[in-house]
Structure 1
Amino acid sequence: MGKLPHSCSLLPRHCTTYLAGLYLHIPFCKQACHYCDFHFSTSMGLKSRLVDALTQELALRADYLGPQSVLETIYFGGGTPSLLTATELDQIFNAIHIHFRVAADAEITLEANPDDLTAAKVRELAASPINRLSIGLQSFHEPHLRLMNRAHSAIESTAAVQLAQEAGFENISVDLIYGVPAPDHGIWEEDLAKVFALQVPHLSCYALTVEPDTVFGRQLKKGTFRPPPDEFVARQFEMLLAELARHGYQQYEISNFCQPGRESRHNSAYWRGVPYLGLGPSAHSFNGVSRQYTLANNPQYVTSVLEQHEVPATIEFLSPTDRANEYLMTSLRTARGTDLRHLHTSLGVNLVADRADYLKYLQTNGWATISADEVLTLTDKGKLLADQITLELFQEAE
């Protein structure tokens, strides 16, 4: 797979009117992880046709972000985007550059499973426009990988990162899952030690969440799966914060950590409310005034886009209350915090006056701080209660 030709529209960032993001959902996996409730299929029969539909959707929605937009980030998520062939990736990139302008220094991320990252595959990706890999390790502990029904082995977890580094990828993120049932915290300590030894610049770390429509959810209902107690999970989160700080990583969002200056530009843009276009079944889009949700059904998506030339999607126009709640939900998870003045002057919600007692309660209990310029930020203790605090601050629809 070759680099994009010089004729593609690559612009220096100073030429942009405003920056935006592009997300492409690749809804295929080799097998179903027991915790995953994302939209995917383990049948690959439609993969080629779905790539055709993605390129057609790029044409159908070329004006979604407006004529002055330039893509600062492109993100292949899923599913398992590393299942795409070199030819399929080339097809998608060619369509992107026909219909969109792309910043010269665009961050282009592909999510990958370790079992896909053979030496040949990594060289193929390194020769493509992709400049950032997000590798779903989840654990280095073989029994945990088998419990979660991951397709890769513990040996492949380490090898995938090393192969990527040897191929020239220096912008690498890895995923880890904590709160997996275990007799003590020893396995989590080993996972952290091994990931630090790999010296990757970015980590995304998530607590194991049991969703109803997953294998774990059904096992929980039957009583055959027991997640660890909340105190166990909270302790592993505290261990995570301490170890990452000790190794020089910054927590710039509750689940995301990086070496200085190595934030995910794509995800950071989400949290700042930057417009983005989402392509593929189940993908979401946001243009500042509305959200669009594409149908989570592969055959119907392909038929609608390729044969009817329509994107099967639902559009939700955001009310002022919706926009305020979205800002609260995203900003409060980040190290930047929630700008209460912005919330008041731009979004019409005056928490300083309307929720003074609750804000004082948060500070008194050591769950949050409010700076002199009225920025609300969660403390490490408060981050354990982030969802609860956010819901408490949400505005009710009028």
Structure 2
Amino acid sequence: MNKGIYVHIPFCKSRCVYCGFYSTTHAELCHRYTKALLHEMELRSSVEASLSHYNTDTVYFGGGTPSVLDLSDMELIFHKISAVYPGNMREVTVEMNPDDVTPQYVSALKSFGVNRISMGVQSFDDNRLRFLRRRHSASQAIKAYNIIRQAGIGNISIDLMFGFPKENIGDWQNDIKTALSLDPNHISAYCLMYEEGTPLHKMLEAGKVKQIDEETYVAMYTELIDQLTSHGYEHYEISNFAKHGYRSIHNSSYWHDVPYLGFGASAHSYNGKRRLWNIDNLQEYIMSVEQGVLPAEYEDIDADTHYNDLVTTALRTCEGLDLSMLHNEYREYALKSASYSLSNNNIELCDNHLRLTRKGLFVSDLIMSDLIKV
């Protein structure tokens, strides 16, 4: 089976107010971290016999901000992946911030085999970008997009965000309109989240900002779906839209129970039976790998956990939960647990798949919690 590799680059030039991912601004450690990544790849290959037959299908550089790495470090990582985990690389993605995009950088990435860029735009409104503490402006984002296109990268995804404090439906429509004018191959769109421990959550607790109400959220999400699908985008996952043939192959593996390898601080891996995660401390990660010790913890996945994982991932997709993948006990449990959602048309049963209806998209978390086995 083809499998994906995720490489976590935890460096950022500055922290955004909403970000709950593990990252650091200690860019002086970039090169040392790169060397640790290369060593981890070798260590993992040497201690896990199954990886000797690992056929890499996709590579995804996430963060943090992968584009803060020097091209020399990026090249080292690409060479190591090709040497230790070769395969038919159908999709190689690098996340970039607009302010890191230069013709030289993008052209070099393309020469390394990158054929997909995921760019964190978030908004085309400068006030909202400043609120998020993003370093780029709306005009920079548009310029960066055009640079990527001109460099010959034929698959561009952009991230958008909605649900800002005081944002109205007209503001959101303008962001969608601008995004569509660029004609990206893929759009990921998320409602602004107030994750505990982030500066944004502290602002909320202090009463400095106010979350949008549920009615506004529903209106914005509805507008997103209507606009993008009417312009030819397939709504293939709750937050993701793609033109025909441009679904994210790598991210789809997470939603369809496909094994993957993760390298770097805080990165996760999954082989179908066990989930591993590296420690989320940059210094400890580097020191451990330098000493030849894999800095990972793991959990073996029992039948209940595997079922719950399928529910919370597969139901996010337009295909839904394939009941034929479940043993009888879990299939019966899923159907019984879904009976209420089926009766009120939040879920539909089609071709032996349970999948969210348009109505069910707005209460997906509640539906998944009903189906989870506790």
Name the TM-score class by shorter chain.
over 0.9
Measured in 2, the distance between the counterparts of 1:167 and 1:85 equals 18
Which residue number corresponds to residue 136 of structure 1?
A: 120
Which residue number corresponds to residue 306 of structure 2?
A: 323
Measured in 2, the distance between the counterparts of 1:327 and 1:48 equals 38
Question: How far off is 1:151 after superposition?
Answer: 1.2
Which residue number corresponds to residue 331 of structure 2?
A: 350
Measured in 2, the distance between the counterparts of 1:140 and 1:87 equals 32
CA offsets, 1:281-324, max 9 Å, x none?
Answer: 11000011100011000011001101x11121111000100101
Is 1:90 aligned to residue 68 of structure 2? no
Please tell me the residue identity of whatever aligns with 2:339. Answer: K
Which residue number corresponds to residue 173 of structure 2?
A: 189
Is 1:334 aligned to residue 317 of structure 2? yes
Measured in 2, the distance between the counterparts of 1:51 and 1:188 equals 39
Please tell me the residue identity of whatever aligns with 1:89. Answer: M
Question: How far off is 1:116 after superposition?
Answer: 0.2
Question: How far off is 1:69 after superposition?
Answer: 2.0
Superposition map of 1:234-245 within 5 A: 234-245=218-229
Which residue number corresponds to residue 356 of structure 2?
A: 378
The number of residues matched between the two structures is 372
Please tell me the residue identity of whatever aligns with 1:376. Answer: L
Please tell me the residue identity of whatever aligns with 1:42. Answer: T
Instruction: Say which of 346, 351, 367 aligns to 1:367.
Output: 346
Please tell me the residue identity of whatever aligns with 1:394. Answer: I
Please tell me the residue identity of whatever aligns with 2:67. Answer: S
Question: How far off is 1:220 after superposition?
Answer: 1.1
Measured in 2, the distance between the counterparts of 1:197 and 1:355 equals 42
> TM-score scaled by structure 2?
0.96
Superposition map of 1:94-113 within 5 A: 94-103=79-88, 105-113=89-97
The SS at the match of 1:370 is strand
Measured in 1, the distance between the counterparts of 2:335 and 2:349 equals 11
| Greater Cα shift, 94-103 or 141-150 | 94-103
Question: How far off is 1:395 after superposition?
Answer: 0.6
Is 1:310 aligned to residue 288 of structure 2? no
Please tell me the residue identity of whatever aligns with 2:79. Answer: N
Please tell me the residue identity of whatever aligns with 1:321. Answer: D
| Greater Cα shift, 334-343 or 255-264 | 334-343
Measured in 1, the distance between the counterparts of 2:158 and 2:81 equals 26
Measured in 2, the distance between the counterparts of 1:350 and 1:339 equals 9
The SS at the match of 2:210 is coil
| Greater Cα shift, 227-236 or 107-116 | 227-236
Superposition map of 1:153-232 within 5 A: 153-232=137-216
Q: Is 1:295–1:313's contact at 8 Å kept on the other side of the alignment?
A: yes
Which residue number corresponds to residue 77 of structure 1?
A: 62
Instruction: Say which of 269, 279, 283 aligns to 2:253.
Output: 269
Which residue number corresponds to residue 26 of structure 2?
A: 43
Question: How far off is 1:95 after superposition?
Answer: 1.2
Measured in 2, the distance between the counterparts of 1:385 and 1:183 equals 22
CA shift in 2, pair 1:270/1:356, >3 Å = closer
CA offsets, 1:92-134, max 9 Å, x none?
Answer: 111112211221x421100000000023322222322111100
Measured in 1, the distance between the counterparts of 2:22 and 2:339 equals 41
Which residue number corresponds to residue 372 of structure 2?
A: 394
Instruction: Say which of 39, 43, 49 aligns to 1:56.
Output: 39
Q: Is 1:251–1:258's contact at 8 Å kept on the other side of the alignment?
A: yes
The SS at the match of 2:34 is helix
Please tell me the residue identity of whatever aligns with 2:57. Answer: E
Question: How far off is 1:342 after superposition?
Answer: 2.1
CA shift in 2, pair 1:83/1:183, >3 Å = closer
Question: How far off is 1:364 after superposition?
Answer: 2.8
Measured in 2, the distance between the counterparts of 1:189 and 1:182 equals 14
Please tell me the residue identity of whatever aligns with 1:171. Answer: N
Question: How far off is 1:234 after superposition?
Answer: 1.6
More helix per residue: 2
Please tell me the residue identity of whatever aligns with 1:334. Answer: T
CA shift in 2, pair 1:147/1:59, >3 Å = same
CA shift in 2, pair 1:124/1:341, >3 Å = closer
The SS at the match of 2:221 is helix
Q: Is 1:139–1:157's contact at 8 Å kept on the other side of the alignment?
A: no
Please tell me the residue identity of whatever aligns with 1:369. Answer: E
Measured in 2, the distance between the counterparts of 1:85 and 1:191 equals 31
| Greater Cα shift, 185-194 or 63-72 | 63-72
Give the superposed CA RMSD: 1.4
Q: Is 2:338–2:371's contact at 8 Å kept on the other side of the alignment?
A: no
Question: How far off is 1:358 after superposition?
Answer: 4.6
CA offsets, 1:15-61, max 9 Å, x none?
Answer: xxx21110000000011000000000012121110000000000001
The SS at the match of 1:127 is helix
